[in-house]
Amino acid sequence: DAKTTQPNSMESNEEEPVHLPCNHSTISGTDYIHWYRQLPSQGPEYVIHGLTSNVNNRMASLAIAEDRKSSTLILHRATLRDAAVYYCILSSQGAQKLVFGQGTRLTINP
Amino acid sequence: NAGVTQTPKFQVLKTGQSMTLQCAQDMNHNSMYWYRQDPGMGLRLIYYSASEGTTDKGEVPNGYNVSRLNKREFSLRLESAAPSQTSVYFCASSEAGLANYGYTFGSGTRLTVV
């Protein structure tokens, strides 16, 4: 599986947008980009995923660079409940499993 | 509520004891997974079952066995627990074996081996 690189930690303020970066310079043409988050003492939670085009859902937006070597998870208006570890994961077409890295620990300040 | 249910939520074992962690999903998902998460670490895949009747090893299968009892249930067994198996164990399921579907995770089993 191709590798992703994320900052270990980030901080933001409540009610402000948050941009969480992920680098994946070795991504292949058929790799999907997934984002999960893990709130304290809970299991991971699916956030969003995409292949080439930007994606939006009720939780977040995923902006994918034109060359697909990086992507950004955007939380439009952070709340305290968004404090979590965010994982960026690549999966190849036909892959049977997801492999988690270390993720980015996001702290939201009131 | 629909989702993935794990039992027990907490367990303390003595070294050498055995136990089975249970996982059940009610979403009619084909694929199921067992991960472990050590303190301050990401999740590591132990075993997975892409479909009923099949199981495969993940990154860290040593010391574990699994059984896909039916489409709903996927159990993880520790035959002889060791302190290195102290961890939080998460079960997950997804619609198909392809990783371009989202996973649904259970709330975890916190296991301590003394």
The mean pLDDT value for B17-23 works out to: 97
Cross-strand bridge partners of residue A101: none
Residue pair A4/A101 in contact by the 8 Å Cβ criterion: yes
pLDDT at A6: 96
* Per-residue H/E/C for chain A: CCCCECCCEEEEECCCCEEEEEECCCCCCCCEEEEEEECCCCCCEEEEEECCCCEECCCCEEEECCCCCEEEEEECCCCHHHCEEEEEEEECCCCCCCCCCCCEEEEEEC
Q: Look up residue B37 and give its amino acid.
A: Q
Distance from CA of B6 to the nearest CA of A (A): 11
Where residue A2 falls among pLDDT bands split at 50, 70, 90?
A: low
Give the nearest chain B residue to A30 (CA atoms).
Answer: B100
Distance from CA of B40 to the nearest CA of A (A): 9
pLDDT in tens, A69-104: 999 999 999 999 999 999 999 988 777 778 888 899
- Highest-confidence segment of A92-106, B71-85, B96-110: B71-85
pLDDT at A3: 87
Chain B residues inside the 8 Å CB shell of A95: 98-99
pLDDT at B1: 60
Give the nearest chain A residue to B54 (CA atoms).
Answer: A96
A residues 22-51 lying closer than 8 A (beta carbon) to B: 32, 34, 36, 42-46, 49, 51
pLDDT at B100: 65
Where residue B90 falls among pLDDT bands split at 50, 70, 90?
A: very high
pLDDT at A95: 72
The mean pLDDT value for B35-59 works out to: 91
pLDDT at A91: 87
pLDDT at A99: 84
Chain A residues inside the 8 Å CB shell of B100: 32, 49, 51, 91, 93
Give the nearest chain B residue to A87 (CA atoms).
Answer: B42
pLDDT at A100: 87
Structure tokens at A65: 């660079």
The shortest CB-CB distance from A98 to any of B4, B99, B106 is to: B99
Q: Which of A39, A96, A100, A105 to mutate to test the interface with B (most CBs of B within 10 A)?
A: A96
Residue pair A48/A33 in contact by the 8 Å Cβ criterion: no
Give the nearest chain A residue to B50 (CA atoms).
Answer: A96
pLDDT at B99: 60
Is the pLDDT at A1 greater than 60? The verdict is no
Determine the Cα–Cα distance for residues A85 and A40; give it in Å rounded to an integer: 8
pLDDT in tens, A5-57: 999 999 999 999 999 999 999 998 888 999 999 999 899 999 999 999 899 99
A59 and B CB contact within 8 Å: no
Chain B residues inside the 8 Å CB shell of A58: none
